Structure formats: structure tokens, C-alpha cells
Chains A and B, each alone.
Chain A
């Protein structure tokens, strides 16, 4: 187990290196000249001399490999450059907004699990009857409804009409409810459907039949034998949705005036503030990769078949 975790941790720097190279290359080879954008955001007229000077200042006159190595060296010292807009260190800015995003993301994950697990069990235990139909309906809505629109509908219902919850801002647990639910709705509906399918599959297996034959109560059969094995696919499913959850969180922040990296990144993209865009992408990727690592470790821990084999499919 320890070896497995160590191996995965050792792979991490290489993954990040690869991603930073791809991100760097795309930014440099993409359209547009960072020097021109730098001048525009600094409100300096882009004369030929000014562009040339900016290119030297930003190191754009150097060969690409040298630019990348310089960037990498600085990045290893946690220096990701300065924002073109306000000249503040990019990493500091992003880390300032990150806690709010992580809070919302964690809340969305919690909502996903707290809602989807009971729904999945409920549907599986009443297969093809009303509860099952309801859960299927929710699952279908979940993959079809735009999360930002759902956010507005929630505001409409709970803030405008009922006046129960604050429509915007980050102020205590009540302000977290709507954004978390809106960001989580897609993952929770997919999760509920997967848990249902996986419980029905497990319920047909022999060890469950044997547990029933031993005269165990329905509660113990479902809890100890069906659910326990059915939860494994859920762990994988959660891993698959983490990207979706991150994306959802970034969009939802913009609706609820949630002071996270999503709103900051959108304005940076709009302004073509390259250092911010670059650092934002890497930061989100790092979080994504770390979450997946946790999921994989959890999976290995839950499933002896993987744990004892020593390595898991990545």
C-alpha cells in the first residue's frame, strides 16, 4: 500500500512538468503577442519601440527552450510572474481567492455524496417502481440542465419568492447552500444512477444470496454486503466527476458573487492576462490531480484486489 502511494506521488512531478510544458507551448504558439497585451493592460500605446522593449522585459526575445526553463526555474521558486493588470504576484492573488473556491468545491462534493447515496439506495431497493422512476428522472434532468441556469432558478425560488436564503455573497453556511447544490447537481445525479446500477448488480451476486440464506436481516444484507461492494464504483465515479465539479464550481461562483478563483480567472481570460491564465490552469490541474490521487488511494484501500497487487490502473 505504502509502495503504491509512494509510486503515485513520485509520478506527480512528472505529470505537472508535462502539463506545464503543454500549457507553456500553447500560450506561446497561440495567437496574439503577450507583449502587446501587456502594453494594452498597462495602458501604454503599442509603438514599435514599446513592443520591442516589452518583449525584452518579458523575455519573449529569447529562444523558446530558454523561456521555458526560466519560467520553470521561477515556478519552482513559487514565482509565477506578475499580473499584467495590477502587477501583483500571480500566485499570491490566486491563493487569496483559492480558499473560497475550495470551500465551495468541498461543499459541492459533500452535497453530491449526501444526496446521491440515499437516492441510489432508494432507487435500487424499489426497482422499477415509483422511487426508481423519480431517481431516473432526477438523473436525466441532472445531465441536461445547465448548472448556471439551475443556480438562477434556485435564487428565484429561495431568495426572490420565499426570501429564505441570501441571493449572493459568502456569509455563513446559508450562503453556501444554493451554490453548492447548483454546482453538485450534475455529479449527484450521475452518482445516484451509478450507485443504483452497481447495487442491483451486487445484489445478484452469490455472496448476497448466501447472506440472505444465513438468515441475516434485510438491513444487514443491504448494508454489510450489497452497499459495501457497490460503493467501490462510486469512488471511481466521484473521481470521474471531480473535473466536472471543479468546472461547475468556477461557473457557479460567477452567479452567486462567490469570491473565488473562478471570477478572478474569467476577468483574467477576458483581459488576456497571460501569467494569471497560466498559473490558474496549473493550479486547477494540480488540485484535480491531487483529488484523483486521493480517490485512487481510497479505491486501493477499499479494494484488496488492487491493494495486494501493488499497482493500479492509472
Chain B
């Protein structure tokens, strides 16, 4: 029923949508604002953090919030606020690298698969299926096992455990876009395959990819923090949110606030990117919005 009523105005709306500047709804603004703020904190952490995040001061250990230490100090007397700020650098930096790797792998492998087609496509897709058969977090744990522990390896592990989803997606998009008239027209006009891909297919793929990746950022932050909490990622002296939660677990009976701050930092960051991702999806794809809010 809804399909019938929507069918008529849909083409007009689809044409008008990109040009018309809609006011972003409140959740989207909050998400975008927080995300920008967090990225700024991550970039400027060494400049704006009130203390050295690694400076140990045993005389000042386990202090409550004060003027000198806004959020107090941890079991080694390190300033928690400074550690949280530097933690943003680690988490968001890790996610930025993961996203880049996934875009490269997804577009590279998925694009190739979709463009070449035939047997190459079949082989690549069966390979992807195998990766998709392993539960993502187990695959990430396995990859850490293969590569070894540490932040760099965790970043690689998460990228390598997520790429197959995106390769599949890119392949699907390429296959549909390949048959569009403007792409066929470009082919007929004599453009090379590579040029058609770069100039006519890639932009369409990229827009979709950005939305889905934004929706996944929160998920990836949770994975980085989770693996670090398990002791498989960032090693303890470095300030990272998951590690901070792991450090704080011994003080749950005496100083529960230690546990609360880094968790809140993760929660706020993930929530911000989830809000932003939802907003981007709604803005770029009205059909998905209708589905989500039906």
C-alpha cells in the first residue's frame, strides 16, 4: 500500500533531494557535533591534556576529582582526564586506519571481482564466503593469534576480519552500476574499463560505502576496546580506554569511579558515531529510513 502511494512522487523527490538543503534533525546534530569534538580532542590531545598521561606519581594515587585532576587519578597516580584524551587518539586513530584499509581492500577486491566477473569473480566470492562464515569477533581474535598482540596487529586484525563484508557489498554495487545507461554510454563512447570504473562507477560505490562505514565505526571502536581489554591489543602503559577498564577492574570494590570514566568515554564516542551514521543513512537513502521507522 505504501509502495503505491510513494511511487508517484518518488522520482521527483529523488531528483530534488540532493539539491534541497534539509535541516538536520537534533540527534544528527548532536552526533555530528560530538564526533567533531572527539576528533579534535584526539588530534590535539598532546596539546590540551592537562598532564602527561604516563606520568606516574605514587604519592597522588587513587585521588578523587579535584581542581588539579578533574576526574581524579588512577592506581599509579596518573591523571585520568589526560589518559582519556590520549585514549581518544588511540581509538580514533586506530579506527581511521581500519577504515582506510577496509576501503582499499573492499574497493580493490570487490571492485575487481565485479568488474572482471566470470571465474575470477566466483573464486573471490567463495573466498569471501569463507571469511564470512567465521564469527567476526572470533575471526578478529584468530587474526590477532596469527599476527601477534599489539595495537598495530589489532588494527590489521579488525580490518582483515571485516573486509569481506565490504568486498561483497562493493561487488554488488559495481554489478548494478555496470549496467546503468550512463556507464554503458561511457563504454560505447570509447572510455577504457579503468576509466569507466574510476570516473563513473567509483563515485556511486563510494557514497554508499561511506554511509555503511560510518554506521560501523562504533562497532569497530568497541572491537578495539574489547580486544585491548582482553590484553590482546594495546599494551598497558599506553593510555587506551579498554586497557583503562582492564586496569580499573581490581579497584571495583574501592574506587568504582575509575571504571566508570573510560566506559563513559567509549559509550559517548560510539553513540556519537552511531547517531552520525544513522543521520547520514537517512539523508542519503530515504528508503532505508522508511524501513527503520516503519
- In angstroms, Cα B2 to Cα A206, docked, is 12
- Size category of the binding interface on chain A: 35 or more
Q: Which residues of B contact A265 (CB under 8 A)?
A: 141
Q: Which residues of A contact B18 (CB under 8 A)?
A: none
Q: Which residue of B lies closest to A248 (CB)?
A: B137
Main secondary structure of the interface of B (DSSP, over half): helix
The yes or no answer to B49 lying at the interface (CB within 8 A) is no
Question: Is A197 touching B291 in the complex (CB atoms < 8 A)?
Answer: yes
Q: A22-B130, A32-B148, A265-B141 are in contact. Are A145 and B267 (CB under 8 A)?
A: yes
Question: Is B135 touching A285 in the complex (CB atoms < 8 A)?
Answer: yes
The yes or no answer to B138 lying at the interface (CB within 8 A) is yes
The yes or no answer to A288 lying at the interface (CB within 8 A) is yes
Question: Is A31 touching B146 in the complex (CB atoms < 8 A)?
Answer: yes
- In angstroms, Cα B146 to Cα A167, docked, is 33
The yes or no answer to B294 lying at the interface (CB within 8 A) is yes
Question: Is A247 touching B256 in the complex (CB atoms < 8 A)?
Answer: no
Tell me which of A149, A152, A167, A270 contacts B149 (CB under 8 A). Answer: A270
Number of residue pairs A-B, CB distance < 8 angstroms: 157
Q: A26-B146, A27-B146, A156-B256 are in contact. Are A149 and B138 (CB under 8 A)?
A: no
Question: Is B249 touching A281 in the complex (CB atoms < 8 A)?
Answer: no
- In angstroms, Cα B226 to Cα A285, docked, is 20
- In angstroms, Cα B134 to Cα A246, docked, is 11
Question: CB-defined interface of B133-154 with A at 8 Å, one 1/0 digit per residue?
Answer: 1111111011111111100000
The yes or no answer to B245 lying at the interface (CB within 8 A) is yes
Question: Is A243 touching B149 in the complex (CB atoms < 8 A)?
Answer: no
Give how many B residues have a beta carbon under 8 Å from the other chain's beta carbons: 51
The yes or no answer to B8 lying at the interface (CB within 8 A) is no
Give the interface centre of B137, B259, B292 by most chain A CB atoms within 10 Å.
Answer: B137
- In angstroms, Cα B228 to Cα A93, docked, is 25
Question: Is A281 touching B252 in the complex (CB atoms < 8 A)?
Answer: no
Q: Which residues of B contact A23 (CB under 8 A)?
A: 134, 142
Question: Is B266 touching A277 in the complex (CB atoms < 8 A)?
Answer: no
Question: Is A152 touching B245 in the complex (CB atoms < 8 A)?
Answer: yes
Question: Is A160 touching B274 in the complex (CB atoms < 8 A)?
Answer: no
Task: Give chain A interface residues in 249-279, CB to chain B under 8 Å.
Answer: 250-251, 254-255, 265-266, 268-270, 272, 274, 277
Question: Is A247 touching B137 in the complex (CB atoms < 8 A)?
Answer: yes
The yes or no answer to B204 lying at the interface (CB within 8 A) is no
Chain A residues engaging chain B, CB cutoff 8 angstroms: 15, 18-19, 21-23, 26-27, 30-32, 140-141, 143-149, 152-153, 155-156, 160, 167, 197-198, 200-201, 204, 206, 242-244, 246-248, 250-251, 254-255, 265-266, 268-270, 272, 274, 277, 280-281, 284-285, 288-289
